[in-house]
Amino acid sequence: MKLRDGITFHDGTPLNTEAVSVNFLAQYGDPLVGLAVRPYYVAEEPITIVDDLNMNFNLTDASCNWPSALTGQLGAVGSPAWIAALRKIQQLISNQWNRTIHL
């Protein structure tokens, strides 16, 4: 995968292979989400970072479903700072839902 240079998250963190790696490994290691992610990848080294803008996803087999899987939750990439903050609280907590202000 080749990333476009000059892209940043809302907090100013650059979108680079380290940021993608943080997101990917968070999903890969998650007990629930990982069930959908792990079957696509080689277990020993699921990704290889080449440089700041290039990385390889090491798939177990060719898959016509893999590109479309990246268009949903499995392809979501957030700022590594946001991921770190979520790890501190372990989960997003909401004690109310207001139909008029929440999707």
Residues 35-92 have pLDDT tens digits of 988 989 998 999 999 999 999 999 999 989 888 888 988 888 999 998 888 777 765 5
Residue 92 confidence (pLDDT): 54
Q: Are 59 and 42 in contact (CB under 8 A)?
A: yes
Q: What is the DSSP string of 57-84?
A: E-BSS--SSHHHHTTTGGG----HHHHH
Nearest to 84 by CA among 17, 13, 36, 5: 13
Residue 83 confidence (pLDDT): 86
For 87-99, what is the mean pLDDT? 64
Residue 93 DSSP class: -
Residue 65 confidence (pLDDT): 87
